[in-house]
Amino acid sequence: MANVRLIARLDIKGPNLIKGVHLEGLRVVGDPQEYARRYYEQGIDELIYIDIVASLYGRSKLTEIVRRAAHDVFVPMTVGGGVRNVDDVRDLLRAGADKVAINTAAVRRPELVTEVSRRFGSQCMMLSIEAKQQAPGRWEVFTDCGRERSGVDAVEWARRGVALGAGEILVTSIDREGTRKGFDLALTRAIASAVTVPVIASGGYGEPQDLTDVVLEGTANAVAFADALHYQRTTLAELRAHARSAGIPVRSV
């Protein structure tokens, strides 16, 4: 097994780091720059920035926040929210991003996935899937920060996204996001078994066993953490120690 990546997810609204439950009820946490620097110093493997209202309001991208972070943080950064075309991707990469995560615009125009992967490489094109369970073994893709139904099956969309050129998939369970009740293992496993690219599990971490479960049972290649790190309910050192105790390989820092 390759090293499992531990990733900090930073949801952004305007200039602020925020956190919600089920992608709603947003609370301001603080300055994203301070948190990004802290996680970098603690040995985070990657950062994911998501502007969670960009698709709703057509706001500008996270270019300035990424540019600031790139001066202090030297781990891969993925940026999502409001990315609509290859020009948006180019601007974010020039600002210091390594990858872009696209959800709403890709669902509305799937060819965008191919355009981005052909222009910048599939390793740059992360397909972001926000999914909500509709029936046992069936999840639907939601867009606009979990607000709008798409009618698209999440597993089928993951499979199609990879065929179009996505090099990685970020899977966020809307049902579990912010609840601290554990990841949606069935969702993660269903998507991971349907594709040949790395899958990042997001939404639901509550205790160390959740990390073990989503890797060993959900077969995730990477795990994203938000409020557990933001509110210092755990540390990266504790997460790494727990992973190693369960036989899960992680990067040494």
Catalytic residue among 11, 46, 88, 184: 11
| Residue listed under structure tokens 């090099």 | 167
CB-CB neighbours of 112 under 10 Å: 22
Q: Could you give the 3-state DSSP secondary structure of residue 163?
A: helix
Closest CA to 142 of 133, 130, 154: 130
> Which run of H or of E encompasses 67?
helix 63-72
Among this protein's residues, is 130 annotated catalytic? yes
Q: How far apart are the first and last CA of the chain?
A: 18
Catalytic residue among 51, 130, 140, 213: 130
- 237 CB-contact burial (10 Å; exposed 0-12 / middle 13-18 / buried 19+): exposed
Extract long-range pairs of 234-241: CB within 8 Å, 24+ residues apart.
234/208, 235/42, 236/6, 236/39, 236/42, 236/43, 236/44, 237/42, 237/43, 238/208, 239/6, 239/208, 239/211, 240/6, 240/43
Round to whole Å and give the CA distance between 11 and 39: 14
Residue numbers annotated as active site:
11, 130
